Structure 1
Amino acid sequence: MIGKLLKLSLGRRQLHTIISQEIIKPSSPTPSHLYTYNLSSVDQLAAKAYMPIVLFYRKNDNCTLTSQDKARVLKESLSQTLTRYYPAAGRMSSPITPYVDCNDEGVVFIEARINSNLENYLHLSQVDRNFDLLFANDLVNYKSPCNTSLVGVQFNHFACGGLVLAVSMSHIIGDATSLSLFIGHWASVARYGSTDHQEVFPYIPHIIQFPRTDSIQQEFRACEVDHTNVVSKNFVFPNSKLSDLKKLVDIDINPSRVVVLTSLLYKTAAKAATKRSGFFKTSYIFMMVNMRNKFVKKLPQSTFGNIAPSILVPTDRHTSETSLSKVVEDIKKTMSRELEGIHSVHQIGEYLKVSRSNRHNHDNLENVVNGSYWCSSLCRFPFKKMDFGWGKPVDTKYLLRSSHKNGFMMVDTKNGDGIEASVVLEKENMEIFENEEEMLSFCQK
């Protein structure tokens, strides 16, 4: 009942108010030899979309800073952070420009007041939370693919003293690891007061300088996807259950808990789709793979940019009816076959060009799109540790945005003892999926 009242009050009484907007520029100008940041071919092939993350902070009685003081700390530390992550403060002339003008135009920083209690907001369902309130301005809105700004921030003050920091970064300049590096550096500068403090990590991000290339024209047009009948639900899988799940897989394969859970979710979702339609169609797993550790000469973990190509794993009728081990094996074999010979970011780009061409020239592109299940993982990412000086977030949310209508996003549970999976499916398929006994046997009761 509280949730419904809060939703109505926010909508009708307009209790959400923008109280300030300014541009935060780097504390030191970008050196002239870094004025132009050339995008790699991987960057240019990245989705023209934003990666939105939301960090929720309860009022910390041990912190003596006022809300205004906290906003000041955030702005000052962001300014210092932008001297190191200088592409984030730049602009693109157009969404297809193959470089960023590192012109120090800065990052939009919005402050907003929400006249309700954070606890009430946290208890709302993900649908009723209305995340648009937390990204209220077009300059920071994660739904603005034509925006030439690359990072936007909104700092939301709740009436109870709770705070919500909403950050969106363009996928053109980085992947989820890059977003994590940027916010982590910002948080540590805020906490310790200087980019030169020995505890600030990464001290200097590894930003690769690429040669200028022509703009890569993405000639392939994705099929229109109707999201009106799509629902999202969360399922929690404790580590003890994930250990039991791994025991079902051949010991020689030895998958990570993310790969084995991805296989279970995919297998269950494909089964639900088959039950609903009454017949099986070839389906596909669409996965992102972080390559920083996979090159012969490993890239530093502080490497900023897009270093995570996608692979597409097809599943035929025979495979869908076999064991979990077979699905896991297909994923690992595809990773090995597709990515083993890649030793540089340039080679990732060449691989993506070919694989995208093959996908979009498929005999039945619509079936590929409708039968694909995208999956991504933020497990082991330190978003839940982002302490700006007033404690770690009580909750974090990465907002799901995809051109596909089926998929899974995995994050660590709040207590770190498992994985919480956000599953996105068509409503009719979800009704079957959420009642599948095999999947439920590994869920938290």
Structure 2
Amino acid sequence: MEQEFEVEVKILSKEMVKPSFPPSSHPTTFTLSLIDQTFPTIQVPILLFFTAESPTPQGGVNISGLKTSLSQTLDQFFPLAGRLLDESTISCNHEGIPFIETNVNCNLSVALTSPHKLKLLTKFLPPPELQSISELVPLAFQINVFLCGGVIIGCYMLHKILDIASLGTFLKYWSNLASKRLNDLVQPNFAATINAFPPLPKPESKSSPISSLEPPPVSNNVIKSFLFDPIAISKLKAKATSDLIPKPTGFEAVAGFVWEQTLATRLNLGMQVEHTALSIVVNMRPRMNPPLPKESMGNPITIAQTQVRKHVLEANKSSNSELQELVKEIHSALSNTYQKITSINFQRKTAEAELQHSIQLEDGILRVSSWCKMGLNEVDFGFGKPVWIVPTDGIQPPQFRNFFVLTDYCHSNSGDGIEAWLVLEEKEMQNLESNPYFLAFASHN
């Protein structure tokens, strides 16, 4: 039996990158918005895979330039170079963020095509800091350079301070600076979210690192990804079209389809399902009145939840009616957020209840977060845009069962598609990936 190739990652350097010129005019502390105050201290892994546009030796990647431009980027994003004092405040002490440089003993194609590629992901990420709240860094980066010149940028993001759109703003600024596209630089806006959701001086609840969250009893978790190419998305949008929703979006069609098929999986396994619910993470920036700037930092997000009773689904068992019903519910839940999210009625109890709900585990509830068009697909450090966006370290904790993330995926032949990253119990995943109807639209990655 042939021995599997061992991917080795050699650390060349570790350092703390600090702002290049922290101005004295910056405040010494930074108070988080109401939403950020109530947000748990979860660290989110993100990996961006970049192929070399032309054959490049391992030493050809300009690591020094990446560090210099990162330092200059922190001048503008100065709170991210600080440390949490408590659940509400950042000390703007300019301590900087971890930056790790590595060399990998193979070509990037190995990491992209290995049947065990999800097990490799932790090798390409900086070690997470999960100790006391004051030791948590807002961001940490590991730059992995392959023999072919391909690069994986592994990142941990502290979700209490940043959401995915905020990270996209940061990475686009950094990459534009690194590749000398100075006309494309867009300044971050740290004030908009705070002005919309003013902080309270004494939060009633304490945040804690995810490691202290008691995991609920579950069987084996499995994470797998499935690709929806543009043709499949068009077909799903056609199936989801109804008189009430004549033009469903790609998100609505794909999210509705995944919801429908995970429900079918539970029924196939003999589970009792009296109702089904989908909990949707919603970016509030474009939905506020007036809208918040795209480059608003923090976590201006909320949870939209929709629920469908069993008898409604049984009344819509024709070929497309069930998907149409679920997409109607998704569309309605998203539309209702326009009335719901104003700074006047978004009070602490609402924030705490909704954001805690996003990490609780309840049977019958599926959760979805879309990272599509949040800026990650536009990041270009001079070696092209990412060919793969990965929202996991391959080891999801039990709190995130019944959860899926949608990311941008560029299909080589037909253009922009969507990749769905699902976290389910093992028996549910096995049933889903053996479902021929599901696989008629989704392909394994």
Same-fold status (TM-score > 0.5): yes
Shift of 1:204: 4.4
Structure 1 moving runs of 4+ over 6 Å: 219-223
Q: 2:267 aligns with which of 274, 286, 295?
A: 274
Shift of 1:228: 5.6
Work out the CA distance in 2 between the residues paired with 1:66 and 1:117.
10
Give the superposed CA RMSD.
3.1
Work out the CA distance in 2 between the residues paired with 1:240 and 1:24.
44
Work out the CA distance in 2 between the residues paired with 1:35 and 1:21.
26
1:331–1:181 distance in 2 versus 1, CA, 3 Å: same
The equivalences for 1:243-322 within 5 A come to: 243-248=234-239, 249-253=241-245, 254-321=247-314, 322=316
1:78–1:145 distance in 2 versus 1, CA, 3 Å: same
Give the conservation status (yes or no) of the 8 Å contact 1:40–1:346: no
The residue that corresponds to 1:189 in the other structure is 177
Q: 1:42 aligns with which of 35, 43, 46?
A: 35
Give the conservation status (yes or no) of the 8 Å contact 2:31–2:90: yes
1:124 aligns with 2:103: no
Shift of 1:56: 1.9
1:375 aligns with 2:362: no
Give the conservation status (yes or no) of the 8 Å contact 1:30–1:102: no
Give the conservation status (yes or no) of the 8 Å contact 1:234–1:420: yes
1:35-81 CA-to-partner distances (Å, cap 9, x unmatched) read: 22111121123242122221222334377x97376110111000111
Unaligned ranges ≥5, structure 1 = none
Shift of 1:113: 2.2
The equivalences for 1:290-439 within 5 A come to: 290-321=283-314, 322=316, 323-337=322-336, 339-344=338-343, 347=346, 351-355=350-354, 369-399=362-392, 401=396, 403-415=399-411, 416-439=415-438
1:387-420 CA-to-partner distances (Å, cap 9, x unmatched) read: 1122223323121646231122212222343212
1:435–1:257 distance in 2 versus 1, CA, 3 Å: same
Work out the CA distance in 1 between the residues paired with 2:126 and 2:26.
36
**Greater mean deviation of Cα atoms: 292-301 or 278-287:** 278-287
Work out the CA distance in 1 between the residues paired with 2:437 and 2:51.
37
1:19–1:420 distance in 2 versus 1, CA, 3 Å: same
Percent identical: 26
* TM, length-normalised to structure 2: 0.84
For these two proteins, the number of residue pairs brought into alignment is 422
The residue that corresponds to 2:91 in the other structure is 101
* TM, length-normalised to structure 1: 0.84
1:356–1:120 distance in 2 versus 1, CA, 3 Å: closer
Q: 2:65 aligns with which of 66, 73, 78?
A: 73
Work out the CA distance in 2 between the residues paired with 1:263 and 1:320.
13
1:235 aligns with 2:223: no
Give the conservation status (yes or no) of the 8 Å contact 2:55–2:148: no
Work out the CA distance in 1 between the residues paired with 2:426 and 2:409.
25
The equivalences for 1:109-188 within 5 A come to: 109-125=99-115, 127-139=117-129, 146=133, 147-188=135-176
1:396–1:245 distance in 2 versus 1, CA, 3 Å: closer
The residue that corresponds to 2:439 in the other structure is 440
1:346–1:98 distance in 2 versus 1, CA, 3 Å: farther
1:18–1:356 distance in 2 versus 1, CA, 3 Å: closer
